[in-house]
Chain A
């Protein structure tokens, strides 16, 4: 096997391990919300994104419109556009249009972070290896959580409910500590989200639109107040 491919696979292992636990919680939640095991696994195999999938399941079972679903996914996953733009400059000559189309499928936050931190340019064999292990971990964890989640004792299942939010906090808090603009954006988004949950009238807005409104408003407020700090974020 190609040595660069193997190196990519190796770099993907820690990502895959992290994904296993979070996708396990996702699979468990999806099934308890009313999806079948196969449906939960299909979502993970085709979407490969934590936040988008976690927001999608309640919209599916709640019968949201396809437009609300599309807009919600667009907002939550808009960050990938930026990552793809940034990674574009990091790819070597082996990454033609077809290879770019294949790799795009699994350009997650963590895979992007590892690929960007490599010295020099990266090529197709490395990236294929790097996307493979996390994709397997994400799909396998979903399957295990969806299929076996109900076998776990009640107190373990309840405790796992917080896993996904733990991961979100681990993503947002370190940069919020370092960068004042990020701190401002997070606090603004949380404040808006609290308003939409507790203020009568506002709390009737459906979950997808709440994420869209809070995300766009807080990011725009941050960009307006701290336009020069984008590199610190």
Chain B
């Protein structure tokens, strides 16, 4: 990507991300009073990650059949509370195995 197009994006992503982290630690040190706002902020990560995962994950391997195998393994392990690393690696292995299987049949 051309640098003159890239640099403004870099500045915006890094700048916005930094300010979100920095301002509450330095400037706004008060507690948030509103129960609605506090719950809203607490739910945001789950809502965002849920929307980013589905349905995109089914297109992440170029073949929906292998992606479904990866999702099944990831959901099972994540549901049981396994670590980030375990779930991510196991999903990749499941996809690789499914690809091998599809080549054989």
List residues of A whose CB falls within 8 A of some B CB: 17-18, 21-22, 34-36, 39, 42-43, 46-49, 51-56, 59-61, 63, 66, 69-70, 73-85, 87-88, 97, 100-101, 103-105, 107, 109-110, 155-156, 158-177, 181-182, 185-190, 192-194, 197-198, 210-211, 214-220, 222-224, 226-230, 233
Specify which of A85, A109, A189 is in contact with B47 (CB 8 Å cutoff): A189
Interface residues of B in 51-82 (CB under 8 A from A): 51-57, 60-63, 66-67, 70-71, 74-75, 77-79, 81-82
The CA of A227 and the CA of B40, in the complex, are separated in Å by: 8
Q: A107-B21, A173-B79, A223-B37 are in contact. List 6 more A-B contacts (CB 8 A).
A: A39-B3, A73-B13, A158-B63, A165-B91, A190-B51, A210-B51
The CA of A79 and the CA of B41, in the complex, are separated in Å by: 6
The CA of A60 and the CA of B63, in the complex, are separated in Å by: 25
Q: Is B105 an interface residue (CB 8 A)?
A: no
Least CB distance from B67 to A in Å reads 6
Could you tell me how many residues of chain B have their Cβ less than 8 Å away from some Cβ of chain A? 77
In the complex where A166-B90, A181-B43, A222-B39 touch, is A51 in contact with B24 (Cβ < 8 A)?
no
The CA of A186 and the CA of B50, in the complex, are separated in Å by: 5
Least CB distance from B37 to A in Å reads 8
The CA of A168 and the CA of B54, in the complex, are separated in Å by: 10
The CA of A220 and the CA of B48, in the complex, are separated in Å by: 12
Question: Which residues on A sit within 8 Å (CB–CB) of B35?
Answer: 227-228, 230
Instruction: Check B48 against A211 for contact (C-beta < 8 Å).
Output: yes
In the complex where A55-B52, A230-B42 touch, is A21 in contact with B85 (Cβ < 8 A)?
yes
Least CB distance from A197 to B in Å reads 5
In the complex where A84-B24, A85-B24, A105-B18 touch, is A218 in contact with B88 (Cβ < 8 A)?
no
Decide if the interface of chain A is mainly helix, strand, loop or mixed: helix
Instruction: Check B20 against A173 for contact (C-beta < 8 Å).
Output: no
Q: Is B33 an interface residue (CB 8 A)?
A: no
The CA of A82 and the CA of B56, in the complex, are separated in Å by: 27
List residues of B whose CB falls within 8 A of some A CB: 1, 3, 5-6, 8-10, 12-14, 16-18, 20-26, 28-29, 31-32, 35-57, 60-63, 66-67, 70-71, 74-75, 77-79, 81-93, 95-96, 99-100
- List the 9 shortest-distance A-B pairs measured between CB atoms, nearest first: A166-B91, A214-B51, A104-B22, A218-B47, A189-B50, A46-B14, A166-B88, A170-B87, A84-B24
Instruction: Check A172 against B49 for contact (C-beta < 8 Å).
Output: yes
Instruction: Check A52 against B42 for contact (C-beta < 8 Å).
Output: no
In the complex where A21-B85, A97-B26, A230-B39 touch, is A215 in contact with B61 (Cβ < 8 A)?
no
Specify which of B51, B78, B87, B96 is in contact with A215 (CB 8 Å cutoff): B51
